Each structure stands twice: as C-alpha cells, then as structure tokens.
C-alpha cells in the first residue's frame, strides 16, 4: 500500500460547522456498527441444538458454524483494505452492514442446513469487513480522542455480544428460533442507512491527504515485528473467544447443566468485555509498554480453563468470569493498531493484516476442538489445549507492546 507521509486533514473539509455535523453522523454510525459486530455470532450459538433438531444436523455442523465467524472475518479482513482504497471507508461500511442485514434475514428463513451455513457466511462477511474499517474510521474522524472512541466502540460491541445470547433462548421459546436469529437484521440495516447518509455527502478519498511533491512510503507490514506480535496475540485471543462462545454451552450441558445456563454463561462471559472495553484502552494509552496487561490476562485465562475442566458445574460463574477477563487482550490489540500507526491508511492496512491472519488462525479452534471432543469423549483435552495457547500469546505480546510505530520498520520510500 502506498501512503503519504503527511497527516490527514480533518474529515468534512468545508468549515467547522459542517465538519461538526458530519462528525456527529460519524459518531452515530460508529456506535450503531459496534452494536452489530457480534450479535450475529453470539445470538445463534445458544440455539444450535434447537436449530440442529429442527433442520437435522449434529455436533460436526455446529462446530463448523462456530468456525465460520473466524474464517469469514479472516478472508474479509484481507479484502476490506483493498475495497476501502477504491471506494472509501464510509462506502465500504455501508455495503458491509447492508450485506449483513440482508443475509441475517435469509438465515432466519433457512429451510436447510446448507442455506443456514451460506447465509451465515454472507452475514459474517459483512461483519468481517466492518470489523476492519471501524478501526481506521475512529482514527480518521476522532484522531484526538482515540482512547475514548475505542472504549466506546468496544463497550457497545460487547453490549451487543452479551445481550444477544441472553435474549436468544427466551425469544426462541416465545416466538421460535427463526425470530430469535432474525431480529438482529434490524439494527444492522439502521447502521447501513446512517453510513449511507455520510457516504453520499463525502468523496471516497476525503480521508487521504492531498500532498504534492511529498515523498510517499510503501507500507510492508510483514516486515514489522510489532505487526506480527499483534497477529499472534490477536489470533490466540480470537481462538479462545470463538471456542468459548461455541463450546461453553456444550461443556456445561454435557456436565448436566441446562441450555439456559449455557446461554446465561455466554452472556456473563461477554459482559466482562464491557468492563475491558472501558478500562483497557485507557490503560494502554497511558502506559508506554502495556505488556503487563498481556501477562495478567493470560494468567487469569489459564485459571478459567483449568477450573472449567476440573469442576464445570461447581464454580461455573468464577471460571466463566476468569475467561471473560482473560480475553481482554482484544481491546488492547484494537487500541495498539491505532497507537502504533501514524495515519488512517496505515491503520486500515495493519487492521486488515492483523485481523485477516489472526482470524484465519483462530478458525481452527471451534471445529478442531469439536473434533478432539468427539475423539476423546470429554472436554478435558480441548480445555487443556486452549489453556496452552496462553504461552504463544504472552511471547507475541512482548513484541506487540513495544513502543514504536509500525511505519518505522515496515516502510520504504517509494520510487
């Protein structure tokens, strides 16, 4: 990617009043998008047994559905920066949320397992693109308040993540699983509409600084140890996150718990992300090197896995809380992407690279652990494997947290 060395101007470009109004629209759009980033994932996992009974599929397909989010986020993590370079951040966000809304309706109407999987892939493709563009959008519109807006977007994302599984089973019992999974199309459609308003008011390249006779640099993120640290740290966190969301209900029901308990524990797990969203970005921006956050989260994460393996129904709340705290490296990664880059264009490239590879590695988790569970007949081995992922996460965190800009070791002057 070729990027200017100058700093991008304030979006809007036609006066303080106009910029202020557009920034309000941008803030609303970011907030609505954040609410939609996980509902399509956590809103279906507590219902997999119910849907499987209706459509006729078992644990293997359930594991595949657990893998779909990470896999689609990976593919569209790589594609999103390519699209944004041509069509702009706001237009990409509009298309992404629109695709997600339509696909969620199709998922609710699925007559067969094949249609369920296909519509889920399409819905999460839109969410995957939104994952990537939201990070540089915050940097582009609110460069002087990155910590505040990162906390706000993560707070709203986690709110959606824990509300969706709490509502899933009660809504399904009252109105059917199709209504329960389909209601999340509405907020996605509203988010797409707000982005559309911004997209029609602004040129596609308004975030790119117009500089004449200024040297440009070509960003080669694969040369940066900071980026690779972020990739592995993000991958280990994501592998844990999607494995927990997919399989914790099954771990508890296999131990004798109820489906409602499983849904409630996914909600509790996600609720801890709300606290992390508020605290971690603020801590990360005040610490020159926030590596201690990585170490603390990893220790607590291992505690949660060991507790769940040894005593799943005695101390369930404690183990699930530990897991929720342990994956707090997610907001750390999102914060560092913006704080370790100089421009929105660099942030977009790094965001796509980190999320593309990170989610690609993470997609091995849900389906792989499901296969291990079938082979061993218990959840002990899968949980031990998950606990072991904390080790590469800590090593990667050492490199990710180093106080330097990605451009300093991933760029060269273009010819």
Lowest mean pLDDT among 138-142, 275-279, 327-331, 409-413: 409-413
Best-predicted range by mean pLDDT (110-119, 276-285, 296-305):
296-305
The encoded tokens of residue 158 equal: 């986690």
Determine the average pLDDT of the residues in 264-269.
82
pLDDT value for 414: 43
Better-scored residue on pLDDT, 158 or 399: 399
| Mean of pLDDT values over 75-100 | 82
| pLDDT top residue among 207 and 127 | 127
Residues 355-386 pLDDT 10s: 888 888 887 777 788 888 888 888 899 999 99
Residue 50's pLDDT band (boundaries 50, 70, 90)? confident
pLDDT band at 205 (very low <50, low <70, confident <90, very high): low
- Residue 273: per-residue pLDDT: 76
Average pLDDT over residues 6-28: 63
What is the widest separation between alpha-carbon atoms in the chain? 69
CATH number for position 118: 1.20.1250.20
Count of domains for the chain: 1
What is the pLDDT at residue 137?
87
In angstroms, the Cα distances linking 175 to 167, 182, 235 are: 12, 11, 37
Determine the structural domain holding residue 144 and report its residue range: 17-207+214-413
161-173 residue pLDDT tens: 778 888 888 888 8
Contact assessment for residue 316 and residue 265, using Cβ atoms and an 8 Å cutoff? yes
Q: Is residue 5 part of a domain?
A: no
Q: Is residue 144 part of a domain?
A: yes
DSSP strands (E only) in 24-170 = none
Residue 316 lies in a domain: yes
What pLDDT, in 10s, does the model give residues 342-355?
A: 877 787 788 888 88
What pairs with residue 2 in β-bridges?
Answer: 218
Q: Is residue 290 part of a domain?
A: yes
Indicate the helix (H) or strand (E) that contains 152: helix 146-175
The answer as to whether 1 is a domain residue is: no
Please check whether residue 7 lies inside any domain of the structure. no
* Mean pLDDT, rounded, for 406-415: 61
> Hey, which of 62-71, 248-257, 272-281 has the most confident mean pLDDT?
248-257
Please provide the average confidence, as pLDDT, over all residues in the chain: 81
pLDDT for 39: 85
Q: How many CB atoms neighbour CB 209 within 10 A?
A: 17
Task: Give the pLDDT confidence of 318-338 residue by residue, as tens digits.
Answer: 999 999 999 989 889 988 988
Task: Output the pLDDT for position 74.
Answer: 76
In this prediction, residues 35-49 reach a mean pLDDT of 81
Look at residue 114 and tell me if it is in a domain.
yes
The token pair at 403 is 């106080």
Query: Regarding predicted confidence, which is higher, 15 or 219?
Result: 219
Q: Looking up tokens 């009043």, which residue turns up?
A: 17
Q: Do the beta carbons of residue 226 and residue 340 sit within 8 Å?
A: yes
pLDDT in tens, 239-263: 898 888 778 888 888 888 877 788 7
> Is residue 8 domain-resident?
no
């Amino acid at each position: 990617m070729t990027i200017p060395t100058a700093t991008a101007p304030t979006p809007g470009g036609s006066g303080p009043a106009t910029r202020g109004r557009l920034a309000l629209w941008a803030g609303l759009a970011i907030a609505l998008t954040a609410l939609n980033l996980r509902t399509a994932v956590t809103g279906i996992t507590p219902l997999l047994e119910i849907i499987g009974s209706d459509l006729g599929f078992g644990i293997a397909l359930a594991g595949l559905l657990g893998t779909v989010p990470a896999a689609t986020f990976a593919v569209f993590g790589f594609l999103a920066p390519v699209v944004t370079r041509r069509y702009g951040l706001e237009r990409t966000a509009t298309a992404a949320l629109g695709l997600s809304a339509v696909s969620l309706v199709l998922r609710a109407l699925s007559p067969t397992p094949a249609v369920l999987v296909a519509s889920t892939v399409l819905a999460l493709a839109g969410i995957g693109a939104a994952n990537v563009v939201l990070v540089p959008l915050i940097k582009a519109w609110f460069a002087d308040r990155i910590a505040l807006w990162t906390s706000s977007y993560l707070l709203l994302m986690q709110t959606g993540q824990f509300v969706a599984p709490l509502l899933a089973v009660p809504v399904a019992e009252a109105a059917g699983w199709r209504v329960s999974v389909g209601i999340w199309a509405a907020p996605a459609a509203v988010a797409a509409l707000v982005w559309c308003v911004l997209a029609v008011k602004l040129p596609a390249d308004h975030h790119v600084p117009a500089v004449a006779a200024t040297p440009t640099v070509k960003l080669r993120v694969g040369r940066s140890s900071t980026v690779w640290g972020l990739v592995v740290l993000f991958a280990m966190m994501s592998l844990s996150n999607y494995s927990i969301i997919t399989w914790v209900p099954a771990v508890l029901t296999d131990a004798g718990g109820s489906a409602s308990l499983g849904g409630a524990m996914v909600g509790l797990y996600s609720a801890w992300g709300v606290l992390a969203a508020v605290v971690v970005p603020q801590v990360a921006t005040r610490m020159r090197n926030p590596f201690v956050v990585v170490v603390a989260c990893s220790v607590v994460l291992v505690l949660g896995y060991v507790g769940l393996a040894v005593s799943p129904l005695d101390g369930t709340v404690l183990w699930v809380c530990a897991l929720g705290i342990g994956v707090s490296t997610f907001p750390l990664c999102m914060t560092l992407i913006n704080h370790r880059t100089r421009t929105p264009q660099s942030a977009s490239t790094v965001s796509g690279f980190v999320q593309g590879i990170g989610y690609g590695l993470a997609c091995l988790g849900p389906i792989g652990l499901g296969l291990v569970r079938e082979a061993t007949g218990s959840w002990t081995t899968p949980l031990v494997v998950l606990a072991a992922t904390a080790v590469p996460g800590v090593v990667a965190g050492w490199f990710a947290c180093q106080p330097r800009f990605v451009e300093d070791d991933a760029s060269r002057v273009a010819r």
